[in-house]
Each structure stands twice: as structure tokens, then as C-alpha cells.
Chain A
Amino acid sequence: MTPANRKHLIATDLEQNQQAVIAVIGNPNTGKSTLFNLLTGMRQKVANYPGVTVEKRIGELNIGERRFQLIDLPGTYSLAAHSPDERAAIDVLLGRIADMPPPDAVLVVVDATNIKRNLFVATEVLELGIPVVIALNMVDLAAAQNIHVDADALAARLNTTVIATIAAASGQNNLEPLKEALARAVDEEVQQPWALIEDVKHAAEKLASDTTREFQAQATDEVVQPVAAYEIQRALIDKGGEAEKHLVAEFGESLSLRLQTLRDQLSPDQTLAERDAHHRYAHITSVLDGIVQTPSGQLKRSWSERIDQFVSHPILGSLLFVLVMATVFQAVFSWATPLMDLIDTGAGWTTAQVYAILPEGAIASLLADGVVAGVGSVIIFLPQILILFAFIIVLEDSGYMARAAFLMDRSMRWCGLSGHSFVPMLSSFACAVPAIMGTRVIPDTRDRIATIMAAPFMTCSARLPVYALLIAAFIPPQHYFYGLINLQGLVLLGLYLLGIVGGVLTAFLLKRTVLRGSTPTFLMELPPYRTPNIKSVLLRLMERAKAFLVRAGTVIFFVSVVVWGLAYFPRSEILAVEFERQKLLVESSVQVEAEREQAIARLENELSAAQMEQSLLGRMGKTIAPLFKPLGWDWKLSAAVIASFPAREVVIAVLGTTYAVGADVEAEDAGLRERVRNAAWPDGRKVFTPGIALGLMVFYALCLQCAATVAIIRRETNSWRWPAFAWFYMTGLGYLGAYACAQLG
């Protein structure tokens, strides 16, 4: 698109009062996302760029009467794309994203403490001719290091607007100069693109025009989109990069040969990337000459570096890491309890209200046993998830997580992964879905898939109620070492470790077989430590809470209602009549009121169990029971396990119904524990022997019972092959584990 066309587009947009688009770009760890959050507040939405699994974050910025669309681009050190994230950033800048106009202005966020390196991408964006505003961020940290940048002089030399900002401490009022600059930039005249290395630009333009013409000649009946000269320019400079891959895929291998010929002609002595970097840094050095004051003489070590001496130390840092993680998990389980109890009480109160208001029957049961018990049993984990994510976000924003990934790199390399995989694996302890989405930061495809396959093994929050129920029912609360070690706690720890070992071994095996390849060097910038911005942390937490609640309100609601329907229908009239007969008998024969109520309650539970046995779920359970017979499971357990394949936490509600407890089927419910413990075969043998109970726990630790995880693996790998493999592999492992445990007796 020519500048004239773009200007026309802008004019049309403004005339029609549509939102102008501002792209936000910058190096990682420059406070870019914090600034974006502060500018847009809650007016954000997150989606994917078309065809790729790169997150697109769009927000709305209001300046006076005008509204703008802000796009937070993935952090990048240059426009040389070597990952799908960086590719998406360039596509946005070039206006190559479907349904998204090219940006009217670009906000480049620059770290004032590292201005030379940050201006690399800024100068590349300036070459595009799009109006640019530079946010000179973290000027407070720069001042603390005795680095002073003359923003006005920098603006004059770069011929653009430069605004000093402190994102971590900014309130809305402090951002007014930046907002005004952005509003002005959108109305600015678009310049002709230019280039630091003119001959490369000219060669790229010629090749773009030749390629377009040749393809137009071949495609007689359709109009060929002109090849972007800038993309050819990028392909020339970034040999083997995303631009070259994209062009070769579109125009064939011959283009690759022509690119190489041009490279040899343009830069015979060094690579074009080296030539570009030399020119660019020379230009940046001349721009900064005299306008940046840096401390002279021996640099005093910054407090960030002093902390790093301890935090990044192989032994001390690892000990601190274990301590931090222990605190995080302790907090997840202990701090969440009051809130979880509150939600539990709320669910119990709602159930009681449903039964109090509605007459006894199917509708009351649907609402109480289906909707409230099902959705409530999932929502109860919201506090745990929010506490875990609050820790992760604060640790990320403070700069600690980068150190943790650096420390874990050595351990991860043992199983063929790198430090990139650490944060997604850690996130899996809350939920595998965001963790799998988080693997997008891993640049190597093989590493990414190995991490995706390992992540669902980690003990997510949905496994917790299953473990809580089974441990409380079958593991005696014995204490050892003067009460310091609790056997139940040890079993829980063992199940967590089993998940970790399962994931690590899976990655190890995959990286040595189908995903064989060298582990890439893990290079990452250690950002300076900083105080997280509370508003930004809260915004991200609310985003997580919203996604979780939406899931509880859709998938879990659906599963709860359908499982209730399967467990409730069809109803047997004969059983109902028999129950009424026995009830009358009890009422007439038992004189003591308490005993009579107890007897009737027992009858109701027995009726519920009998109705369940002949329901659709019961029949299905009996049909598939032979499959689980080697594991020692009865049909009720088989049915509950099958019903929990879409979402493992559903098993609690299904077990509650199958073992006929009635309304309250929470894991902590002693009634359910007792019923499970006393469940017996028709010949009187106990269903749950220690081996079978342990086997069930192992099954839940290893099996992939989560439709959302299967869907997200499909989405992230763009194939059904990997989710199918993950499902069969994990379910097979769970089955074998449960079988081995069942042999213990």
C-alpha cells in the first residue's frame, strides 16, 4: 500500500469516525505491556492472529472525544522475524493481517537504561515511514543509574516525538503527554519509506516488482497482490528467517536462489545482517552522541546486579528457588481455604434454598445436584487459581521468573528441554490450558511440542478434589517423626511427584525419538528487578478469573447438566412404587421420629442408587465395566471415570450420585468418603482395596481427562495427531499404572 493510499484510508477512517489503529512495539522487558494496560485499562480483548497461535491483544484508548485501537505487538529486538511472534509483529506493521488496517501510528517503547540496543528496533520502524512516537520508558531507573537522556534532542535527531515515561509508577494523569502525542501522530503525514542501506532497499524494490509481474503473467484470471518490497528487504537481510520462509512458500524455491544471488552481489565480504547491524549501530551512536550522559569511570554495581549475585547463584539461587516455590504451593493450599470454604458454604446454601423453594422432584434435583453441585465443585477452585496466578504474575513482573528460568535451564536440559519450558510447566500446576498456550514463547518447534506433551502430567487444580476424596477415604491419618510428617500429606506429595516424573520422562523420551534434535541455547535477557504495578497485576488477574468463570459457566455447566440427565433418566416406576410402599411401612412401624427419619433417608438413598443403576449412565457403566475389570473397578466407578473424561473434576459429582449420597457430594463430605470406603461387590467384598484405591489415584495422576486440554493441544499444534497421541499415551499409562497397583491387592 502506498503512502498516498494509506493517507486516504486514514482520512476515510477519520471521516467515518472509525477508530484509528496504533501499534505498540518494543524490546521484551521494557514495560511495554504495563504501558499498554495503563493506556487501555479494562478495554481490552485477546484473540489470535489469523492462522497462527500468536496472541493478539487489542485495547481501546480514549483521548478526549476520539477513540483509538491499540495493538500490543509481541516483544521483539528487531524486525528480523525468527519466530511466529516476531512474524506477526511485522505483518501488523505492514498491514498484512486480514480484517486489520495498517497502523496509523506506532508507539515504540524504549528502555532508557539500555537505549542503544532499544533504538535498534525503533530505527527499523522509523524506516517504514509510519508516524512514530517513542516512549522513553523507565527514566527513573535510568536516573538511578546516573543515565540521563535528553528526550527533546533525541526527538529532534530522530525527527519524531519522544516522551519520557515511567510505566511502573504512572497514573492516568502522567500519561497525558503521551496520549496527546499519539493523537497528533495519527494525523501526521505519512512519509515515504526510507532505508539506512539504500542499495538493499532498491534491490528489494526491483525484486518485488519483478516477482509481482511474473506471477501476474502466470495467473491470467486473477489479480495478484503486489509483493511487499519491505518483506523482500527483510528476507534479504535475515537469511533463513520468517520473511524468507513465507516468500518461498508463496513464490517457490526459485525466489530463494534469487535472494541468495542478490545477497552475494550486495554484500560479498560479510552477511547482509552484519552490514545492516554495523550501519544501524553507527547511526544510533551518532544519534546519541552528546545527548546521553552515562556515569564515567568504574561503574558502581547496581542493586539489581547485587541481588543477582545471590539469586542467580547455582546453589544459593536454587535453594531460594525451592523456598519460593514451597511458599507459593503452601500459599495456594492454605490461603485459599477460607475463600474455598466460603464458596462451598455458598453452594451448600444455594442447594438448601433450591430444595426449600422448589417441590421435591426432577427440577429441584437438576438444579441442586446437577447445576449447583457440578458448577460449584469447579468454581470452588477459583481462589487457588487466582493465588497461583497472582504469585506467577508478581514473580514475572518483578523480574524473578527470568532468574528462575535461567536457574532451571540446566535441569531442563537433562530431559532435552531448555529454560523456555520452565514457566509453562509451572503454570500447569494451576491448569494445563494456559500453560499449553504459554508454550508459544518457545522458539523451537520440537521443544514446544515436547513441553506441550509434558505439561498435562503436572497436577492441575482439577485433580486436587479427586486426590482429596481418595486420600481422606483410604489413607489413614498417621503421623511420623513426632507428628512432623503426615502420611496423607506424603501421599499427596507422591502424587505431585508422580505427575512431574511422568512429564519429565515423556519429554525425555520424545526428545530422544520422534522429536530428536539439539537443545537450543537458552538466551534470555535478565531484566532489572522492579516493583510490579498493582493495577497491571490486577488487570491480568481479572482476565484469568474471567476466562475461568466463563469456562465454568459453559463447558462445566453443560457437562453437569448432561451427566445429571444421563444419571437421572429413565426413571423406573416400579422402583418408585416399591419405595413408596416401604416408606409407608417404615412410617407405620417405626415409632421414634429420629429413627424413622433415618430409615426413610436410607430408603431414599437406596432408591436413588437403584434408579441410578438402571439409568442411561448406569447401563453405560455396566457396558464398559468389563474394560475396567482388570483394574478391579465396579460399574459405578467405571461409569464415574468415563463421565469424567471431558473434565476430571466431574468424577466427584458422579461418584456422589452413583454411591447415592444425595445432595451434598463434595469431596470433604464424610458421607461420600464413608460410602466410597464401604462400597462392596454383591458378594460382600470391598470394591476399594488399598491397591485399587491407589490405582485410581495413579490413574487420575497420569490420565488425560480434560476435553479443553485436548482441544488446546489440537489448536496449538494445528493437528489432530498430537492430541490423539497425548490422549492414548496418557490414558494407556494411567491404565497400566492402575493395573499394576491393583495387583498389590
Chain B
Amino acid sequence: MNSQQQEWLALGIVCLVAAVFVMRWLRQRKQGGSGCSQCPKSSCTSTPSEK
């Protein structure tokens, strides 16, 4: 892999990581969480208000 191919791959990884993080954050927001990631996701069951 030459340096230019490496750069494209690295750029792709950066964009992918950013997209995954933003989507994860948005999903957490949609579920009513604050968007913070202090607790393990599997443990976070907080919802915006009592149904």
C-alpha cells in the first residue's frame, strides 16, 4: 500500500469513527439520555420522562 492509499484509508477510518460516534450519540439522545458516555451503554436505561 503506497502512502497515498494509506492516507485515503486513514481518512476513511477517521470519517467512519466520527460517523459512528455521532450516530451513537444521537441514538442515545433519542432514547432520552444526556448523550454522555459515563455509564456502560448496556446499563443505561434512562428515559426522558415517566410514561
Q: What are 26 sample pairs from A and B whose C-beta atoms fall under 8 A apart? A: A45-B42, A45-B43, A46-B39, A47-B39, A47-B45, A48-B45, A51-B49, A56-B45, A98-B51, A361-B1, A361-B6, A362-B3, A363-B6, A365-B10, A366-B14, A550-B39, A550-B40, A561-B17, A562-B14, A564-B14, A565-B11, A565-B14, A568-B10, A708-B36, A711-B36, A712-B38
Question: Lowest 4 A-B CB distances belong to which pairs?
Answer: A565-B14, A715-B34, A711-B36, A362-B10
Are the CB atoms of B3 and A561 closer together than 8 Å?
no
| A281 adjacent to chain B (CB < 8 Å) | no
Q: Cβ of B45: which chain A residues have Cβ within 8 Å of it?
A: 47-48, 56, 99
Q: How far is the CA of A433 from the CA of B34 in the complex (A)?
A: 13
| A592 adjacent to chain B (CB < 8 Å) | no
Are the CB atoms of A362 and B17 closer together than 8 Å?
no
Q: Cβ of B17: which chain A residues have Cβ within 8 Å of it?
A: 557-558, 561-562
Q: How far is the CA of A565 from the CA of B41 in the complex (A)?
A: 26
Q: How far is the CA of A565 from the CA of B12 in the complex (A)?
A: 10
Q: Cβ of B9: which chain A residues have Cβ within 8 Å of it?
A: 362-363
Task: Tell me, rounded to whole Å, the shortest Cβ–Cβ distance linking B30 to chain A.
Answer: 15
User: Number of contacting residues on B, CB 8 A?
Assistant: 33
Task: Tell me, rounded to whole Å, the shortest Cβ–Cβ distance linking A55 to chain B.
Answer: 10
Q: Cβ of B3: which chain A residues have Cβ within 8 Å of it?
A: 361-362
Q: How far is the CA of A47 from the CA of B33 in the complex (A)?
A: 10
Q: Chain A 684-713 against B: per-residue CB contact (8 Å), 1 yes, 0 no?
A: 000000000000000000000001100110
| A213 adjacent to chain B (CB < 8 Å) | no
Q: A47-B39, A715-B34 are in contact. Are A366 and B13 (CB under 8 A)?
A: yes
Are the CB atoms of B21 and A51 closer together than 8 Å?
no
| A714 adjacent to chain B (CB < 8 Å) | yes
> From residue 40 to 99 of chain A, which have CB atoms closer than 8 A to chain B?
45-48, 50-51, 56, 96-99
Q: Cβ of B13: which chain A residues have Cβ within 8 Å of it?
A: 366, 561
Are the CB atoms of A48 and B46 closer together than 8 Å?
yes
| A619 adjacent to chain B (CB < 8 Å) | no
Q: Cβ of B15: which chain A residues have Cβ within 8 Å of it?
A: 565
Q: Cβ of B42: which chain A residues have Cβ within 8 Å of it?
A: 45
Task: Tell me, rounded to whole Å, the shortest Cβ–Cβ distance linking B14 to chain A.
Answer: 3
Q: Cβ of A564: which chain B residues have Cβ within 8 Å of it?
A: 14
Q: How far is the CA of A707 from the CA of B37 in the complex (A)?
A: 10
Residues of B at under 8 Å CB distance from A?
A: 1, 3, 6-7, 9-11, 13-15, 17-18, 21, 24, 33-51
Are the CB atoms of B37 and A551 closer together than 8 Å?
yes
Task: Tell me, rounded to whole Å, the shortest Cβ–Cβ distance linking B33 to chain A.
Answer: 8
Q: How far is the CA of A50 from the CA of B45 in the complex (A)?
A: 8
Q: How far is the CA of A98 from the CA of B51 in the complex (A)?
A: 6
- Chain A, residue nearest B18 (CB): A562
Q: Cβ of B50: which chain A residues have Cβ within 8 Å of it?
A: 50-51, 96-98
Q: Cβ of B35: which chain A residues have Cβ within 8 Å of it?
A: 711
| A554 adjacent to chain B (CB < 8 Å) | yes
Are the CB atoms of B37 and A555 closer together than 8 Å?
yes
- Chain B, residue nearest A555 (CB): B37
- Chain A, residue nearest B11 (CB): A569
Are the CB atoms of A550 and B37 closer together than 8 Å?
yes
Q: How far is the CA of A550 from the CA of B28 in the complex (A)?
A: 15
Task: Tell me, rounded to whole Å, the shortest Cβ–Cβ distance linking B51 to chain A.
Answer: 4
- Chain A, residue nearest B9 (CB): A363
Q: Cβ of A547: which chain B residues have Cβ within 8 Å of it?
A: 38-40
Q: Cβ of A45: which chain B residues have Cβ within 8 Å of it?
A: 42-43
| A313 adjacent to chain B (CB < 8 Å) | no
Are the CB atoms of B43 and A47 closer together than 8 Å?
yes
Q: How far is the CA of A530 from the CA of B17 in the complex (A)?
A: 48
Q: Cβ of A258: which chain B residues have Cβ within 8 Å of it?
A: none
| A571 adjacent to chain B (CB < 8 Å) | yes
Are the CB atoms of B38 and A433 closer together than 8 Å?
yes
Q: Cβ of B51: which chain A residues have Cβ within 8 Å of it?
A: 50, 98-99
Are the CB atoms of B7 and A554 closer together than 8 Å?
no
Q: Chain A 426-449 against B: per-residue CB contact (8 Å), 1 yes, 0 no?
A: 000000011001000000000000
Which one, B10, B34, B43, contacts A714 given CB within 8 A?
B34
Q: A361-B7, A557-B17 are in contact. Are A98 and B38 (CB under 8 A)?
A: no
Q: How far is the CA of A551 from the CA of B44 in the complex (A)?
A: 14
| A359 adjacent to chain B (CB < 8 Å) | yes
Q: Cβ of A50: which chain B residues have Cβ within 8 Å of it?
A: 46-51
Which one, A362, A565, A569, A708, contacts B6 given CB within 8 A?
A362
Are the CB atoms of B21 and A554 closer together than 8 Å?
yes
- Chain A, residue nearest B51 (CB): A98
